[in-house]
Amino acid sequence: MEQVQIGKLQLSQTQKNQRRQDRKDEEAKLTKQEKTNQQFNQTIPGMAAAPQTQVLVGAAKASQSVTAKMETAKTAEPTKEGEAPKEKLDSLTIKVPEARIGRVIGPKGANLKLIQDKTGIDRIDTNGEIFTISGKPGTTAAAHAALTELVEKGYMSLAFDNFSEIGCMAHPSTFPDIIGSKGAVIIKLKEELKVEVNIPPVPKGTTGPKKYKIGIAGSKEASEKAQKCIEDIIMYGHSEITHPGMVHEELEVPTWAYVFLIGKGGSELRHIQKNWSVKVNIPRENSANENVVVVGEPRDVARAKEYIEKQISAAENQTSGRDQANKADDFWGEDEQEGWMDQYMYKRK
């Protein structure tokens, strides 16, 4: 009986040794990393498996972070390879009459470029009379307003700092002096003061005393100077800005004596102006200045003035104004003269 028990014990011991050996053999087969993982995943009795939970939470946070970046990258992803994302652009159109397209565009596109620079729009495309403005939201309205001003007024306020828009009332008879030969006077005015001057259209054949507003635009200081310049031209026939070095003299000449200054068909007036290189402005029906005004270089004006005064003095020594005019008419004959001279020329019945 004892031998049987001893035998069982020996068998049991042998089995334990075998199992122990089997475990050692299995452990020998595990790599170093597998042993680490196996140890890490073992749970100590009485404690929660904290290390495993922390690793999983950390992994989740890392995953969320990567996902967010990928979404951002996707949002900012170029529309095409090598191109930046395209922003949404606003678009406005305006119709420009064919006759004003050149004025709106400006020399070599100067006006359109200025609008782009000042408003920040992307571009202005033209297709005949249709101008299309494209740009970021909030920029196209200002550009549209500038184009509208160019169409309606010929200038735009955004081209000037401290912008001012004023006017000057003038009779159409003074427009030729303000404009000058081939536009020389008004061009000089614009270039010297950096202003815009808009002469209003007047229906052909317009008569009467009605005055029209000349538009002036630019910086406040420049606009006021331009206004004064135009007023001087209206009153005296010149301005220091547009006619540098010129002076003028006003002469109080009786109306009956104008005929002696005009001469046959304007011959005496032409003689005075050509001989002394001056301009003689004789008052007309709607003239701002009621005196005769002589304009030119200082020395020339002085000599022309002296000659005119002698002519008037000689006329005054004759019998009477009307008789003198009749005698002058006899001398000059019945030849025609300019229309504005008619009111001063006396004809015998």
Q: Could you report the per-residue pLDDT of 275-300, keeping only the tens digit for each?
A: 999 999 999 989 999 999 999 999 99
CATH number reported for the structural domain that contains residue 110 in this entry: 3.30.1370.10
Q: What is the pLDDT of residues 6-22, one digit of tens each?
A: 454 455 666 667 777 77
* 44 vs 241: CA distance, rounded Å: 103
Domain stop point among 200, 229, 244: 244
Q: What is the pLDDT of residues 206-241, one digit of tens each?
A: 788 999 999 999 999 999 999 999 999 999 999 999
Most confident of 63-77, 239-253, 310-324, 330-344: 239-253
* 122 vs 107: CA distance, rounded Å: 20
Query: Quick check: is 8 in a domain?
Result: no
Same domain, 102 and 165: no
Same domain, 337 and 273: yes
Same domain, 209 and 225: yes
* 288 vs 180: CA distance, rounded Å: 18
Q: How confident is the model at residue 24 (pLDDT cuts 50, 70, 90)?
A: confident
More confident residue, 20 or 272: 272
SS3 334: coil
Domain stop point among 121, 155, 189: 155
At residue 59, the pLDDT reads 33
Q: What is the pLDDT of residues 102-130, one digit of tens each?
A: 999 999 999 999 999 999 999 999 999 99
Same domain, 194 and 168: yes
Domain stop point among 202, 220, 244: 244
Query: Quick check: is 255 in a domain?
Result: yes
**Beta-strand runs (E) in 211-312:** 212-219, 247-251, 279-281, 292-296
Q: Which of 230, 237, 194 is nearest to 212 (CA)?
A: 230
Contact 193, 216 (CB under 8 A): no
Query: Quick check: is 349 in a domain?
Result: no
Same domain, 166 and 143: no
At residue 206, the pLDDT reads 79
Same domain, 238 and 169: yes
Taking every pair of Cα atoms in the chain, the longest distance, rounded to a whole number of angstroms, is 188
Whether this prediction's pTM lies above 0.85 is answered by no
Same domain, 136 and 201: no
Is the Cα torsion angle 324, 330, 333, 334 positive or negative in sign? positive
Residue 137: DSSP 8-state: T
Give the residue-averaged pLDDT of 242-270. Answer: 94
* 228 vs 345: CA distance, rounded Å: 34
Q: Please provide the average confidence, as pLDDT, over all residues in the chain.
A: 78
What are residue 132's phi and psi, to 5 degrees? -110, 125
Give me the amino acid identity at 64: Q
Same domain, 279 and 340: yes
Sheet holding 196-198, edge to edge: 163-170, 212-219, 196-198
Domain of 113, in residue numbers: 87-155
Same domain, 265 and 253: yes
Query: Quick check: is 136 in a domain?
Result: yes
Domain count, the chain: 3
Q: Which of 177, 327, 342 is nearest to 265 (CA)?
A: 342
